[in-house]
Structure 1
């Protein structure tokens, strides 16, 4: 999720902390021959040159200039000056070997046989409208008081609870200050408005993380602080649960952690334990949602962690062990189908943002299940239909990958009824209990005259 008006978050590669790939002289010559073009969209292992340096696109780009920017997933690696670089005197600990480019074998068309068994959390409509409220900050969309959030929104995620430091586990949430958000309500009015929403059957959650809130529970002390601090916020504001919106470098798999069903990486293990503690504390009514980016979920079909060859981004698929461990307690998983690169679907074709096809292919993966890193003996099982929604930007200003209402509704109709699917063959069949739609954000929707809400709330209600 994004705080600012900028539509793509980029970072200077040197400041991103990503590993630098050292090119050979031959690699450099190839790179210098491949001039960067802003019209090109490079994918894994493509090369480009600009401003006297050559670069390798490790994953994907959104037309970013390689010499000044990396993509959202740290894709551009600086290989050094054109004409060749001097290799390091000692090789890296784990050489960045390029993974094979052959796609995974086609998965079975029948879902895995180990679905979740717990019933869904009550109180939600069959098809829900889910949105994020900019409660702790302002941006170009303007501030919106909780009491003024329209009744159409069934789940309201308060953005954001953020840590005091990346590894502290100490999550804090405060209303936007009046100097930043003119017209902000008092805390007492905010709490009363939440109470009124809940009395009307709405769910109000604390969304933790976001683009700026990196959360890395590296220790058990951080895990315990996470539980106590999040509990304090839930209790103070009278909330229904939490939304896990970990982005950036919050979740990453350690080298050798290759089994999503039995993770060993501390940030993964501790997050799972913390979420289980919160569920145990608040009981059956606790609402748990997650909003990962496609890189952390669907990319796991091709790549998981740093991989058996090394050199892959260790964040690839890193949400999978969390989703799997919490599958019986997860209320809704709404992957962000935006700010994303092209992702391979179950048809072994790459799908890109901007139309119904991307929403259909990405969501079908979660409704059908898929082999992790192409290993058909290691299947990520399908989730229940009522646990699955997908996220879409509410407007062109809210994020990359905006799709007009007709395209979003085409995707939902395909997933629910199996019709109007375009060229994609749905593996999961029909999904009449598909939960609904999430958007970033309620504020941006208001800014654009409620296009998202006005189009999709009656549409969802009419699905039956």
Structure 2
């Protein structure tokens, strides 16, 4: 999941530091990006993936220079730039791109892409509106894994200026003002709802604000069965020490008190709902590289669960949290420390809290379904080591796993069991991706190492709640087509599923907040479909 980071200022460029452009206020519309045409001849002003991005001549749409990104098999060749923006303001981001599977967008918001431009430049455009307290936005352009070099030129972000806020520290150190007991007594929880029931899962922005607005726990509608508190984050990438800090009043003026928050959690639980702490997210990289980090993870997560009286844990490890080491080729017997230690930590937590402990996971497609083609660094070490890296974790915990809701968004094309590439944004993508989880698949094409299917009651489809919530939004009509196909084998289009699963658990949304922003369209569609 992605959320916009709070940062610095607004228009009229004064300095560029690590991709963050400091700006002075202005009263008129203008260009926000520094060097959107790359005419400096270098990547000044941009934060880009090293080794795969460069400024070149001979490929420009205008001027003399353009960005060239060569993803190869190890990344997406992304460049991004963070700029100051004004709250409650509309902006437009556009780029001229040339190549196959080129993406542009704004972190935590709208995005678009093209499957190919036919050898010529094509303009891509997205529009977005900032939130009430938002003072920065990060825009990006990237290609996709194993695709040829793409080119981008004439990138532009336009809109009015805004006030210059106080600078925000780049990497603040989380604090825990009131340390809880070292060895708290586990919180008892009621039994999980019957696995045969359909469920609606949503993330609640609890530690930050973005353009969707703050939602109090007590105001979450009763339709939401699993409420994931976003996010618990580590004090450092490898510490394993997870902290959950609620959104401060300065950032979320409507935030309730801790006592009100706890009371609302108890009220939800009395209604049979489950409230979990979600660990990770886009900004919360967690690498349990040592047993000490593993133990710190167990201890700190337990303290969060007991302090707030939660029902369990959601693992939303993204970015570089999980990867596979050289020689780690069998998902059934992993050897990479970050994977082995995470499995051990989750098993320890499950044993501590017992059968009522709720465990969910929200990996991206790159870490799961891409494992059908690629697993880890590969025999020659040339692949992205993160490919399929969630598979050993899911497999080891499958007996304890309550729900897996893979994020069917922020994804490039993924090959399905029909050996065709499927692209996000329509029913076909969700059908193909979910069919893989419920059918199983040979990992990296090795028929002697088949990832077994999960039970339908363990699988939900992960989606953006609205068009502003993430790259790959799917209309409710297309969501219903996917559900019709998977649960009744009706209207499957050109894809043939390997079964029919009426017990498919349901849907996950990023997020409750974004659904409220969209007048609860996602929730209302779920209620209408499942009754």
Identify the residue that residue 63 of structure 1 maps to in structure 2: 103
2:263 aligned with 1:192:
yes
Cα 1:448–1:21 change in 2 (3 A) is: closer
Identify the residue that residue 465 of structure 2 maps to in structure 1: 394
Contact preservation (8 Å) 1:145, 1:185: yes
Contact preservation (8 Å) 1:124, 1:154: no
2:2 aligned with 1:2:
yes
Cα 1:347–1:161 change in 2 (3 A) is: same
Contact preservation (8 Å) 2:282, 2:318: yes
Identify the residue that residue 442 of structure 1 maps to in structure 2: 512
2:415 aligned with 1:353:
no
The structure that is strand-richer by fraction is: 2
The structure that is helix-richer by fraction is: 1
Measure, in 2, the Cα distance between the counterparts of 1:72 and 1:221.
37
Measure, in 1, the Cα distance between the counterparts of 2:67 and 2:198.
53
2:234 aligned with 1:175:
no
Measure, in 2, the Cα distance between the counterparts of 1:147 and 1:210.
23
Measure, in 2, the Cα distance between the counterparts of 1:319 and 1:458.
33
Pairwise CA RMSD: 3.0
Alpha-carbon shift at residue 450 of structure 1 (Å)? 0.4
Contact preservation (8 Å) 1:131, 1:440: yes
Measure, in 2, the Cα distance between the counterparts of 1:241 and 1:130.
14
1:2-28 CA-to-partner distances (Å, cap 9, x unmatched) read: 11299xxx998996676x3699xxxx9
Cα 1:148–1:438 change in 2 (3 A) is: same
Query: 1:147 pairs with 198, 208, 218, which one?
Result: 218
Alpha-carbon shift at residue 244 of structure 1 (Å)? 0.2
Alpha-carbon shift at residue 36 of structure 1 (Å)? 7.7
Identify the residue that residue 307 of structure 1 maps to in structure 2: 378
Measure, in 2, the Cα distance between the counterparts of 1:258 and 1:394.
36
Measure, in 2, the Cα distance between the counterparts of 1:415 and 1:403.
16
Measure, in 2, the Cα distance between the counterparts of 1:400 and 1:51.
24
Cα 1:368–1:217 change in 2 (3 A) is: same
Measure, in 2, the Cα distance between the counterparts of 1:290 and 1:146.
21
Contact preservation (8 Å) 1:62, 1:341: no
Alpha-carbon shift at residue 62 of structure 1 (Å)? 3.7
Alpha-carbon shift at residue 413 of structure 1 (Å)? 1.2
1:60-103 CA-to-partner distances (Å, cap 9, x unmatched) read: 554359xx966497889999xxxxxxxxxxxxxxxxxxxxxxxx
1:254-298 CA-to-partner distances (Å, cap 9, x unmatched) read: 111111000000000000000000000000000000000000000
Cα 1:21–1:339 change in 2 (3 A) is: closer
Contact preservation (8 Å) 1:268, 1:321: yes
Identify the residue that residue 529 of structure 2 maps to in structure 1: 459
Secondary structure at the residue paired with 1:229? Answer: helix
Secondary structure at the residue paired with 1:183? Answer: coil
Secondary structure at the residue paired with 2:437? Answer: helix
Query: 1:287 pairs with 330, 334, 358, which one?
Result: 358
Alpha-carbon shift at residue 309 of structure 1 (Å)? 2.1
Structure 2 runs not aligned, ≥5 long? 7-18, 21-42, 77-100, 106-138, 151-190
Query: Where do 1:237-252 residues align within 5 Å?
Result: 237-252=308-323
Cα 1:446–1:54 change in 2 (3 A) is: closer
Query: Where do 1:215-226 residues align within 5 Å?
Result: 215-226=286-297
1:190-230 CA-to-partner distances (Å, cap 9, x unmatched) read: 00100000010000000000000000000000000000000
Identify the residue that residue 158 of structure 2 maps to in structure 1: none
Structure 1 runs not aligned, ≥5 long? 38-48, 80-119
Cα 1:170–1:72 change in 2 (3 A) is: farther
TM-score, normalisation: structure 2 = 0.70
Contact preservation (8 Å) 2:375, 2:385: yes
Identify the residue that residue 233 of structure 1 maps to in structure 2: 304
Contact preservation (8 Å) 1:128, 1:460: no
**What is the total number of aligned residue pairs between the two structures?**
397
Query: 2:401 pairs with 327, 330, 339, which one?
Result: 330
Identify the residue that residue 180 of structure 2 maps to in structure 1: none
Identify the residue that residue 43 of structure 1 maps to in structure 2: none
Measure, in 1, the Cα distance between the counterparts of 2:68 and 2:365.
30
Specify which structure has the bigger relative contact order, considering alpha-carbon pairs within 8 angstroms and separated by 6 or more residues.
Answer: 1
Measure, in 2, the Cα distance between the counterparts of 1:363 and 1:199.
32
Cα 1:227–1:56 change in 2 (3 A) is: closer
Cα 1:200–1:282 change in 2 (3 A) is: same
Secondary structure at the residue paired with 1:131? Answer: strand
Measure, in 2, the Cα distance between the counterparts of 1:56 and 1:385.
35
Contact preservation (8 Å) 1:416, 1:430: yes
Secondary structure at the residue paired with 1:300? Answer: helix
Alpha-carbon shift at residue 125 of structure 1 (Å)? 6.4
Contact preservation (8 Å) 2:53, 2:67: no
Measure, in 2, the Cα distance between the counterparts of 1:403 and 1:21.
31
2:66 aligned with 1:51:
yes
Query: Where do 1:5-154 residues align within 5 Å?
Result: 20=51, 35=59, 51=66, 55-58=70-73, 61-64=101-104, 71=142, 121-123=192-194, 126-154=197-225
1:32-81 CA-to-partner distances (Å, cap 9, x unmatched) read: 87x488xxxxxxxxxxx96376734445554359xx966497889999xx
